Amino acid sequence: MKEQPVENKILTLKKAFEARFGSSEGLRFFAAPGRVNLIGEHIDYCGGLVFPAALTLDTLVAIRKNGTPSTVRLAATTIDGIRTFDINNIEDARSLDWGNYQAGVVRELIRLGIDVGGFDACYLTTVPFGAGLSSSASIEVSTGLAVSELFGGKLNGVEIALAGQRAENTFCGVNCGIMDQFASAMGKKDHAIVLDCNTLDYKYVPLELGNHVIILANTCKKHALGASKYNERRREVAEGLEEMQRIEKSRGVSEPHKTLCEYSVEELRDYMCEISDPTVMMRVIHVVTENARVKEAVKVLEAGKLDEFGELLRKANNSIRYLYEATGFELDAMFDAAVTFDGCVGARMTGGGFGGCTVNIVAADRVEDFKEYVGTRYTAATGNVPEFYVCETGDGARELFI
């Protein structure tokens, strides 16, 4: 699947807005991307390091004030009709079949002191839903930027990312970490971001793959984080942190670590056998070792050691597969096919798991061979027909000008 030029997307979105809301006078356009997490899965909510990159797959929103004090009307190119909610009764928007992410963000902006009034907005997204590429974060961040700018809020990227995370946590019921919204808000073309989710310290790392490209392989099995085992994993690692802290205290440590990712691999080896629940122990092992892999991955990628980076991707996938148990049959089949292709440097699942995509580093001159080889084997194993996206990294949330 090839991403269409942004000018074409703006034109399509403008026509869709006019079809639903009439004139496009005063219309402004904003965009926020989906993301791929190269390595560092399911540790953003454990205070860990993650290594995402923003994509050129994105969500665009066309927006304007509608002259009402509190009526919000939402539409999209992929759904029929218009969804409406009243800012004064915003809690009622939780029950919308589509639009609750936007409503949650509006609520957070109001809580930040922005005087939000009525507006009309229409959305176009090229981030595949349920693929683990953060379509929800791209909606939240594009909404946050658009509404903030429309009503004079002037929030920075980090503030918008945090507002999106709070909306997803408290309004939409998904207990996600900060990585997805941060990458969507703060992404930079041709770079990945190494982000400390505990402190929000970050730096950009040039993503130089030489004669290789990133291919996202979509299992076409959608994951639904709110209805999946995502929140269950959150509970398990919280229990794991309590266990590690208990062990530290029993050994005379007066101030135990506050997050799981503060523990070193050496401390993990020393403490893990005292964790009573074997399932919780597996979750803790994944979190601590994955954090260590992110640190190593940044070093080898900066040194141009792509083969070593690919090996770390494979190790990370095995950890999320066998210790965190967050893959599933389809993701496993996709990974197993990819790593046997001789032009694939490395692969792993990416995103929340239980469906979605794998990220694959593939020789640029073998792209079509990779699609055929992996697609044939994946379909034979699962019966599903996959989709492939040859991806470029892109910029984070921004206003678009015609």
Give the tens place of pLDDT for each residue, 63-110. Answer: 999 999 999 999 999 999 999 999 999 999 999 999 999 999 999 999
Q: Give DSSP secondary structure letters for 317-355.
A: HHHHHHTS----HHHHHHHHHHTTSTTEEEEEEESS-SS
The Cα 12–Cα 152 span in angstroms is 27
Which ranges constitute the DSSP H helices of 153-277? Answer: 157-170, 179-186, 230-250, 265-271
The three-state (H, E, C) secondary structure of 188-199, written as one string: CCCEEEEEECCC
pLDDT at 128 over 90: no
Secondary element (H or E) of residue 135: helix 135-150
Q: Comparing C-alpha atoms, which of 347, 395, 327, 333 is closest to residue 42? A: 327
- Crossing angle of helices 329-338/367-382, nearest 10°? 140
Query: Which residues lie closer than 8 Å to 7 by C-beta, 6 or more apart?
Result: 402
For the chain, give every domain's residue range. Answer: 6-206+394-400
CB within 8 A of 227, min separation 6: which ones? none
Evaluate whether 242 touches 46 at the Cβ level (below 8 Å).
Answer: no
**199 backbone dihedrals φ, ψ, rounded to 5°:** -110, -15
CA 156 and chain centroid, separation: 19
Share of the chain above pLDDT 70, in %: 98
State the Cα–Cα distance between residues 206 and 191, nearest whole angstrom: 4
Contact 333, 218 (CB under 8 A): no
User: Which helix (H) or strand (E) element contains residue 142?
Assistant: helix 135-150
Residue with tokens 């995370």: 165
Q: What is the pLDDT of residue 43?
A: 94
CA distance 59 to 374: 28
DSSP-derived letter for residue 383 is: S
Q: Which tens digits make up the pLDDT trace of 11-46?
A: 999 999 999 999 889 999 999 999 999 999 999 999
Just list the catalytic residues: 180
Phi, psi at 285, each rounded to 5°: -60, -45
CATH 3.40.50.720 fits 6-206+394-400, yes or no: no
> pLDDT tens, 226-261?
446 878 999 999 999 999 999 999 999 999 999 999
Whether residue 187 contacts residue 193, with contact meaning beta carbons closer than 8 Å, is answered with: yes
Whose tokens are 């122990």? That residue is 281
Tokens of 165: 């995370």
**Tens of pLDDT, residues 39-60:** 999 999 999 999 999 999 999 9
Model-level pTM?
A: 0.90
Angle, vertex CA 60, rays to CA 59 and CA 62, nearest 5: 150
Rounded mean pLDDT of 362-372? Answer: 98
Return mean pLDDT, the chain: 94
Q: Rounded to an integer, what distance in angstroms lies between the CA atom of residue 111 and that of residue 119?
A: 18
